[in-house]
Structure 1
Amino acid sequence: MRVTISAKLKLRHTPEQKAMLDAVSLAYRDALNFASKEAFKLDKTSSAPKIHKAAYETLRERFGLGAQLACTVERQVAATYKAQWTKLKQNLSAREKGFTKRRYKGLDSAPKFVSRTLEYQYGRDYSWKKDGRVSISTLRGRTVLEFDGYQKHLDAIAAGCEMGAAKLYYQKSKKQYYLIVALNLELPDPRPTDHKNVVGVDVGQRYHFVATDQDGRSLFEKGAATRQRKDQFTRTRKSLQRKGTRSATRRLVALSSRERRFVADRNHVLSQMLLTRFPGSIFGLEDLTNIRERTEGRRSPKASKKAKRAKRHRSQWSFAELQTMLAYKAPLHVALAVRVDANYTSQCCPRCGHCSKANRPNAGLEFVCEVCGDQGHADRVASVNIGLRTMLVRQDWMSTGALSMRPDVSDNEAKAARLSRYTELRWSPDANPRL
């Protein structure tokens, strides 16, 4: 089983070496903007061969980039335009459904690159020295630098693990360059007998997560403090945007970086909390693909402040980052993360199987089954149902030998069959709880 992790290495550069890194990072950024304008002239193309034909010679001669860096520039610009076209298509679909009236403007002009970040290819643009240093390309040839990092990452590099691409990243606040390297680790293939415990994880906004294992032990993590901090960031941002001065703009840039780091750190802590509390488990996660498009209704032009605030909270909900962090960390802790269907997890009674919206009075946090009378916290009930579905995934894995890490949401018939199987799942040991 291959797992890819990112190792952040702090480069110990001299003033002369920093000047060389400044030159290549600025040239790379200017090359990106030039190639972006050329792609815009070619009917906003996302084809790397077309961009190569129009810009390659200029990238080599005017900006002094090597052959590999020039090709990397072209691929990055092509990927950027492809992402812009995807967002445009999503916007057109949302406008047809009445979700928004705003027109996507990302392709009205050529995308502009401002970050001093460039990508290196292993073996071509960067390589490791035997004395524990790294050699990277600049406009004036190779330069060899020492570096610091997390000890486990350094041990993996010293052991000669498989490398991927690396990014040279410049942090303005510290005037420091970092090299972010993709490490491909080979781990033993997971087996169903390796994981004795199954944990269902329900993510939300009031509670970042509610996790329940097969023995009924639950872990609640409230999100009120994090939401208040995000609201504080929002109020400060609005105040600075109203001022509109140059100093206010500089503070906005610093504030955005601080908020992003705060959210990422919070998700790291939450994922580590789950792995520490339930070691060596199979974690069941809801497949929330396109959850906002499926749950948000038509936008009202006269929405109240409360509705706008709720919509902002939904847009700031970073469940995908939390699930991604848990999924990539799990194999490193001899655990596993799988996705299950999220349909009706908080509306189905895990005791008798009755499923109805009426089981959630006033759509609140209280769950009351209208058939068997079972009561409980709605998010905990959802985590129990997710755990039951995860147990079913493990049972299929043990019987067939094939593990499905993600349900096939594109096949409606297969999904309907899975939902039909879910109705037979029970948490209660009673043969017929309805009696």
Structure 2
Amino acid sequence: MKVTLTAKLKLHHTREHKAALDAVTLAYRDALNYTSHKAFEMNKTSNAAKIQKEVYPTLRQRFGLGAQMACSVPRKVAATYKTLWTRVKQAAAQRAVNPKARRYKGLDHAPTFVSRTLSYQYGRDYSFKTGQQVSISTLAGRLVLPYEGYRKHLDWIADGAQIGAAQLWYDTRKKQYFLLVALEIELPDPEPVTHQQVVGVDVGMRYFAVASNLSGKAFFKSGKETLRKAERFQKARKSLQQKGTRSAVRRLMALSGRERRFIADVNSSLASAILKTYPHALIGVEELTGVRDRTERRSRPTSSEKTRKANRRRARWSYAELLGFLAYKAPLLGSTVVKVDAHYTSQTCPKCGHCSRDNRPRKGLMFVCEGCGYQLHADLVGARNVGLRALLVRQDWMSTGRLSCAPDRPWNADPQAGSAGRDVSDAETKTARLSRYAELRWSPDTSPRL
């Protein structure tokens, strides 16, 4: 199994070296903005070949970029426009269902690139030298700079890991350049027998993550203190923005990105804690694509402060980032992450299978089944239901020899048939999966006593 990760290498540069790196990163950023405006004038095209044909001579002559960098600029701009067009289409589809849904405004103006980050191609724009040095391209030629980084990453580079593209990134806070290198390493293929336990993870706002294995071992991470600290960052930023003085602007620059780094650090630490608590596990997580659009109430001038505060809290935390950390760290520690359906995981009784919204009185933290009276922490119920669905994935893995990491195919489809076996509609597929989930039961022998 091949796993791609990013090695963050700190470059040791002198003042002269930094001046050369500043020149190439600023020229690359200006080239991106020039190309973005050209693509906007060309009917907001996302065709990289058309954009390159239009701007390539200018990128070479006016901005002084090398041939390879002059080719990577149109590709990056085209990828940005393609992403924006995808969001426009998704928003249009939502408005067709709900006329009150927001119109996506990302393509009302040409996208602007602010970060001083440029892309390098391995073997053309940069290469590694002996003595832990790297050669990178600038406007004035090549620079050979020493670097340092995480020991495991350095060992993989020295041992011949497959090296991909890299990004030269400038940390404005530290006034330091880093080289972010994509590494592809080979790991043993996962097997059902190597995963000693099945774990379900439920994410939310009151509890960022609640995990449980099939033996009843639970893990809780409350979000109360963390959200309170994140709100302090937001209040400080708002206060400084209202002042608008020079000292306030300087302080804003010093605080720039601190909240984002804090949230990323919490998510990374939380993912590591889950993986250490449940080693060598098949970890089930919920498929939460589009969850914000389904749960967030649209803020209006007449909206209450409570609604606005709830929306700020939802927007502040990144579930996708937490699940992304879990997904890339798991193979390195001998675990595997799979996505399962999130439908009704917090409304279904794991003991009797009764599903109802009223199983959670007043949407509180306690789950009380209307059918059998089973009571438990609501997020723990969600984690157990996710774990039971991950158990079905493991059973299919053992019977077919193929692991499906996302709920994207019918359970009754032939896995060897490929796309030809997927001849049922999405609605029928979802119905078949939910019907199978309805048969799942939590064993009373492993459930904690009430």
Could you tell me which amino acid in structure 2 is paired with residue 159 of structure 1?
A: D
Equivalent residue runs for 1:139-218 within 5 Å? 139-218=139-218
Paired AA for residue 69 in structure 1: M
Q: Shift of residue 94 of structure 1?
A: 4.4
| Counterpart position of 1:422 | 437
| Aligned twin of 2:236 | 236
Superposition RMSD in Å: 1.8
How far the C-alpha of 1:135 sits from its partner, in A, is 0.8
2: distance between equivalents of 1:249 and 1:31?
28
TM-superposed CA distance for 1:112, in Å, is 1.8
**Farther off after superposition, 252-261 or 170-179:** 252-261
Residue identity opposite 2:426 in structure 1: D
Deviations 1:340-365 (A, max 9, x none): 00111111111111111111111111
Q: Distance in 1 between matches of 2:247 and 2:100?
A: 33
1:41, CA displacement in angstroms?
1.6
Cα distance in 2 for residues equivalent to 1:358 and 1:101: 28
Kindly tell me: are residues 254 and 415 of structure 1, through their superposed partners in 2, closer, same or farther at Cα, counting changes over 3 Å?
farther
Equivalent position of 2:11 in the other structure: 11
The answer to whether the 8 A contact 2:263-2:317 is kept is: no
Q: Is the 8 A contact 1:201 1:284 kept in 2?
A: yes
What's the counterpart of residue 293 of structure 1? 293
User: Corresponding residue for 2:376?
Assistant: 376
Give the direction of change, closer, same or farther, for the CA distance of 1:253–1:106 in structure 2 (3 Å limit). Answer: farther
Q: CA deviation at 1:247?
A: 4.6
What is the CA–CA distance in structure 1 between the aligned matches of 2:236 and 2:278, rounded to whole Å? 38
Residue 284 of structure 1 aligns with which residue?
A: 284
User: For 1:59 and 1:352, how far apart are their aligned partners in 2?
Assistant: 66
Gaps of 5+ in 2: 410-424, 446-450
| Residue in structure 1 matched with residue 413 of structure 2 by the alignment | none
**1:46-65 Cα distance to aligned partner (Å, 9 max, x none):** 11111111100010111111
What's 2:311 paired with? 311
Find the counterpart in structure 2 of residue 108 from structure 1: 108
SS at match of 2:163: strand
Contact 1:94 1:100 (C-alpha < 8 Å) held by counterparts: no
Identity %: 61
Deviation at 1:326, TM superposition (A): 0.4
Contact 1:367–1:375, Cα closer than 8 Å, also in 2:
yes
Q: Which runs of 5+ in 1 are unaligned?
A: 431-435
Cα offsets for 1:144-196 (capped at 9, x unmatched): 11001000000000001001110101112222110011111111110011101
- Confirm or deny: 8 A CA contact 1:208 1:221 kept in the other structure: yes
Structure 2 counterpart of 1:86? 86
- The worse-fitting range, judged by mean Cα deviation, of 267-276 and 85-94 is 85-94
Shift of 1:332: 0.1
Q: Name the SS of the counterpart of 2:131 in structure 1.
A: coil
Q: Which amino acid aligns with 2:443?
A: S
Q: 1:224: Cα distance to partner?
A: 0.3
- Calculate the TM-score normalised by the size of structure 2: 0.91
Which stretch of the first structure deviates more once superposed, 376-385 or 405-414?
405-414
Q: What's the secondary structure of 2:124's corresponding residue?
A: coil
Please show how residues 343-358 of structure 1 align to structure 2 within 5 Å: 343-358=343-358
Distance in 2, Cα, partners of 1:95 & 1:252: 37
Shift of 1:299: 5.4
Looking at structure 2, the residues matched to 254 and 199 of structure 1 have their Cα atoms a distance apart, in angstroms, of 41
Deviation of the 1:16 alpha carbon:
2.0
- Could you list the structure 1 runs, at least 4 aligned residues long, displaced by more than 6 angstroms after superposition: none
| Structure 1: distance between partners of 2:339 and 2:141 | 47
Question: Quick one: distance in 2 between partners of 1:162 and 1:99?
Answer: 49
TM-score (norm 1): 0.94
**Residue 140 (structure 1) shift:** 1.7
In the other structure, the counterpart of 1:267 is: 267
> 1: distance between equivalents of 2:82 and 2:240?
33
Residue-by-residue CA offset, 1:33-82 (whole Å, 9 max, x unaligned): 11112112212211111111110001011111111100101111111222
* Count of equivalent residues: 430
Aligned to 1:433: none
Higher mean C-alpha deviation, range 148-157 or range 43-52: 43-52
Matched, 1:330 2:345: no
CA–CA distance in 2 between the matches of 1:100 and 1:311? Answer: 17
